[in-house]
Amino acid sequence: MEFENEKDKMLWKEAKKRVGFKNHLITYLACNAFFWLVWYFNDLRGHGDAGNHAGLPWPLFPMFGWGFGLFWHFVGTYMRGNKADQVEKEFRKLKDRQK
């Protein structure tokens, strides 16, 4: 893909990061739904006590572990902002102080 300028290139990178996060989120939701269904149907047949940790359903462990990684993926994608934009804002602040 050709870019007209550097800003377009940065926007393309940002768009790729966001699509990556959305794909990660969909995978997380689908896998965890599957884990919970497996747990639920096994529990119905009386197999729920095997590997039971203090009465907690086993899908909680991958859900929270993976969720922690997903949270940081979200932070890196949506909350940190674009470094070039941050530099530009800081430059404007310094330029305004000079006046």
Q: What is the pLDDT of residues 11-47, one digit of tens each?
A: 888 899 999 999 999 999 999 999 999 999 887 776 5
Domain boundaries, the chain: 6-98
Q: Is 22 or 54 the better-scoring residue by pLDDT? A: 22
Residue 72: pLDDT band (50, 70, 90) is very high
Q: In terms of pTM, does the model score above 0.75?
A: no
Kindly give the interhelix angle for 6-44 and 60-74, rounded to the nearest 10 degrees. Answer: 170
For residue 25, give Cα distances in angstroms to 4, 11, 62, 67. Answer: 31, 21, 14, 9
